[in-house]
Chains A and B, each alone.
Chain A
Amino acid sequence: MENVVNGTVLVVDDDRDIVSAIAKLLEDEGLSVIKAYDGLQALDKITSEKVDLLVIDIMMPRLDGLSALMKIRQSNNIPVIVLSAKSEDTDKILGLSMGADDYITKPYNPMELTARVKAHLRRYLSLGSANQSPSHDDIIRVGGLELDKQTHTVIADGRQSSLTATEYKILRLLMENAGRIFSAENIYQNVWNEDAYAVENTVMVHIRHIREKIEINPKEPRYLKVVWGIGYKIEKHGK
Chain B
Amino acid sequence: MTSLRELMPCFQGVVPAAIVTCDAQGTPNVAYLSHVYYLDDRHVALSCQFFNKTKRNIGVNPYACVQLKHPATLEAWRLDAKFIRAETSGPLFDEMELRIQAIAAHTGMKGIFRLLSADVYEVLELQPEPGFVLQADADNPRPAMDDSRAELRSLQVISDRIVRAADMGELLKTLLASLCELFRVSHAMYLMHDEADGRLYAVESTGYDSSGAGAEVALGEGLIGTVAKTRRLLRVSGMGEMLRYGRAVRGEMQRDGAEVTAEIPLPGLCEAQSQLALPLVVGDRLLGVLALESADPLAFQDWHEAYLNLLANQAALAIERLGERADEEPAPEPERAPLASRRRVFTWYPKDETVFCDGEYLVRNVPARILWKLLTEHEQTGRSEFGNRELRMDDSLGLPPYKDNLESRLILLRKRLDERCPDVRIVPVKRGRFTLERDCELVLETR
Chain B binds chain A: no
| Residues of A near any B CB (own CB < 8 A) | none
| Residues of B near any A CB (own CB < 8 A) | none
